[in-house]
Structure 1
Amino acid sequence: MKQRIESVDLLRGITIAAMILVNTPGDWGNVYAPLLHADWHGLTPTDLIFPFFLFIVGISIYYAYKNKTASVDVYKKVAVRSLKLIGLGLFLKLFTPIPPFFEALETIRIPGVLQRIGIVFFVTAWLYLNCNWKTLIGISITVLLGYWMFLGFVPFPDGTLPTFDRAPNNWSNYIDLKVLGKHMWKPDYDPEGILGTFPAIVTSILGVLVGKFLDSETTYKAIKLVAMGLVGVLLGYLWDLVFPINKALWSSSFVLVTAGMGTMILGLIYYIVDVKGWHFGALFKYAGMNAITVYFLSSLISKIFYKIPVGVGKNIHSWLYQTLFVHDALAANFSSLLYALTVVLCYLGLGYYLYRKNIFIKV
């Protein structure tokens, strides 16, 4: 991208910071409700984070490949990057800092955040290189409608009608169990399961379309972005009446609502930063310029902190939390939040250091 759009880097950085915030509380038993995912149907602020990132992946794909044509060399680079992301995700699942240094292969979880990002990136980039914007819209509509019809109306082999509830009468869980078996997050669902990856690709395609709009010569982009986002949110909540908003399923209504909100927020940030020139949140922007690196390191170090024992019945994480953050004067939820905020600040600092050293690690 010859000229970076600061608002995109800023939103990406805020999203990464939010990912780290919700993934590293001091105590999982004491977390404020907005920092947890919805139990099943519904939407919390935490449920916005991953779709926002996939939405931004789509915007980045547009700018990275807008001047490129489909070729063997381009496809190779797309495939290599996708495999790197998937490989990093699997490494996070396999690695443990204590002997034997690998988790049990019999039950290791195969899906994951980086794995889904890798798959979504590959498919979205391939579609963008081969389809015009009208075709991309048609694919998106077809996938969202087809996903709804399949999950809601196609009977199981034994004739049982499906539901949008948890197992057993849920197509997403049924297929995950058949294909992944024990290699899932939970026996009754995996939030990064197989079927949900299809509508997740649409989330990224919508990002591509927003990137194309940002790059156009149209006027009043910020206002139009907010308006388009509002339409997406309204359509998503209307669809919620028959196909509930659900992150675990990555329901079609979830796609519209989250992409709509992402578009609205991007429009506001675009107006403030790129139109008016009122710069803010530089630390987030720096982290956003090395987003995958920051996220990967945060996940890896968090796992190390949980696995390495310190004393009796404690690990690095619990020792740091209980020693530095737990006080009688502080509510348990607040102590847990303070720990998470401290971790976020550390990784924002890392993003700043990498920026100052002109280090930009492309995965």
Structure 2
Amino acid sequence: MNQRYYSLDVFRGATVCLMILVNNPGTWAHIYGPLKHAPWHGCTPTDLVFPFFLFAVGNALAFVMPRLEGISKQQAAGKIVKRGTLIFLIGLLLNWFPFVKWEDDSLIMKSFSNLRILGVLQRIGIAYLFAALSVYFLKGRKAFYLATLLLLGYWVITAFCGVPDATGFIDPYSLEGFWGTHLDRALLGSDHLYKGEGVPFDPEGLASTIPAIAQVIFGYMVGSYIQQKGKSDAMVANLFVAGMIMLLAGMAWGLEFPINKKIWTSSYVLYTTGLATLILATMIQLIEFRGLKGPLTRFFDVFGKNPLFIFVMSALIPKSLALIRIPHGLNEQGKMTYTSPLGWFYETVCAPVSAKPENGSLLYALIFIGFMWSLAWYMDHRKWYVKV
């Protein structure tokens, strides 16, 4: 039964919108707490956004899989590998873009020697590739068993392969004790890793992508169940039960294997998948059964029509405008400093609106979302849909 679910489009669009919101504050120095990631263990609303998107990727896969079943295995596998690889490469190029940077008063080429290899799109590409191949060749229950095995195996490896610190103490769930940190440094090199934690460590690392694959598979299982059962009260009720079970299981597991986005723990997968399932079930109940559609659902739906393209553009536009330099006064050494057009907009228009700097930073993010929505709306109005 292949019914159209508007609520899935709204869920996906809302997730993309929130991704843009948390990635584009006016200034990283002033952000409200819920719009920050947890420092290490724990989960803030911002920590829900990326796993929700992977969950949505799995949902969408459930509606694409029947088309892959109609072609040969070689063709289907080729399409999956091609799409996963393309998403990965787009992410890699996005890290490198705009390929040049200002050094003193000259534009020079950015070196590949310190290019970050991994990232959000790269994780999406890898997780999609392996999850799609798994559900295509293993089918229903076997794919679920594989996802469960991935989560359990990841827990065991993480718990028993911790790296000791200088004193010999081992905390396998710490940044330096986590085995994935050292795997990434060994395979990719420290120069190619994210440095946001103050040391070479990638929150989208190779090891922590293993449970992310399971997250896409679980999203597929939920999407497949919705598709098979059709629009019924029993389907929604069962989604609520499944979501609550996963949520509670994730919280319980978190007592031993802490909920942590940056190393994407197995408890984090269950916890966020449970929340995503509950929210999606609520949306289906409200939108599909009670017909609660309005400006808010239409706002998010537009983002869901070109999700990956809009997300990429939300990074490309600031990166491109950053090459335009606007004089910003002299520093203490008497040297001219510069800002970008978006930096000028924030400082001139957004920051002065409130004495509390978090308000100006949030205002900038909301205005930027409005601009991206206008682009998404125009593309939808013209029926321009970019498929990867």
TM value normalised by structure 2: 0.89
- Picking from 240, 253, 257, the partner of 1:226 is 240
Aligned counterparts, 1:308-347, within 5 A: 308-312=324-328, 313-327=338-352, 329-347=354-372
Q: What are the superposed Cα offsets for residues 208-255 of structure 1, whole Å, 9 maximum, x if unpaired? A: 100111012364222221221111110001001110000010000000
Aligned CA RMSD, in angstroms, stands at 2.0
Q: What are the superposed Cα offsets for residues 94-114 of structure 1, whole Å, 9 maximum, x if unpaired? A: 122645574221111000111
Report the counterpart of residue 82 of structure 2 in structure 1: 80
Note the C-alpha offset of 1:271.
0.8
Residue 311 of structure 1 aligns to a residue whose secondary structure is strand
Partners of 2:3 and 2:227 within 8 A in 1: no
Call closer, same or farther: CA 1:266–1:155 in 2, change over 3 Å. closer
Q: Which moved more, 1:263-272 or 1:80-89?
A: 80-89
Cα distance in 1 for partners of 2:39, 2:387 equals 35
Note the C-alpha offset of 1:154.
2.9
Report the counterpart of residue 333 of structure 2 in structure 1: none
Partners of 2:249 and 2:270 within 8 A in 1: yes
Note the C-alpha offset of 1:67.
4.2
Residue 53 of structure 1 aligns to a residue whose secondary structure is helix
Note the C-alpha offset of 1:157.
9.9
Call closer, same or farther: CA 1:278–1:183 in 2, change over 3 Å. same
Q: Which moved more, 1:299-308 or 1:8-17?
A: 299-308
The answer to whether the aligner puts 1:209 opposite 2:217 as a matched pair is no
The answer to whether the aligner puts 1:134 opposite 2:141 as a matched pair is yes
Q: Percent identity?
A: 34
Aligned counterparts, 1:187-198, within 5 A: 187-198=199-210
Aligned counterparts, 1:66-145, within 5 A: 66-69=66-69, 71-96=73-98, 98=100, 102-145=109-152
Q: Which moved more, 1:110-119 or 1:3-12?
A: 3-12
Note the C-alpha offset of 1:48.
0.4
Partners of 1:283 and 1:349 within 8 A in 2: no
Partners of 1:88 and 1:114 within 8 A in 2: yes
Report the counterpart of residue 164 of structure 1 in structure 2: 173
Report the counterpart of residue 244 of structure 1 in structure 2: 258
Aligned counterparts, 1:147-186, within 5 A: 147-154=154-161, 161=170, 163-167=172-176, 169-181=177-189, 182-186=191-195
Partners of 1:15 and 1:52 within 8 A in 2: yes
Partners of 2:306 and 2:385 within 8 A in 1: yes
Cα distance in 2 for partners of 1:285, 1:324 equals 29
Any gaps of 5 or more consecutive residues in structure 1? none
Note the C-alpha offset of 1:345.
1.1
Report the counterpart of residue 20 of structure 1 in structure 2: 20
Partners of 2:258 and 2:265 within 8 A in 1: yes
Note the C-alpha offset of 1:123.
0.8
Cα distance in 1 for partners of 2:14, 2:146 equals 29
Cα distance in 2 for partners of 1:143, 1:97 equals 37
Partners of 1:196 and 1:249 within 8 A in 2: yes
Q: Give the aligned residue type for 1:127.
A: S
The answer to whether the aligner puts 1:292 opposite 2:317 as a matched pair is no
Any gaps of 5 or more consecutive residues in structure 2? 102-106, 329-337
Note the C-alpha offset of 1:306.
3.3
Call closer, same or farther: CA 1:103–1:163 in 2, change over 3 Å. same
Structure with the higher strand share, 1 or 2:
2
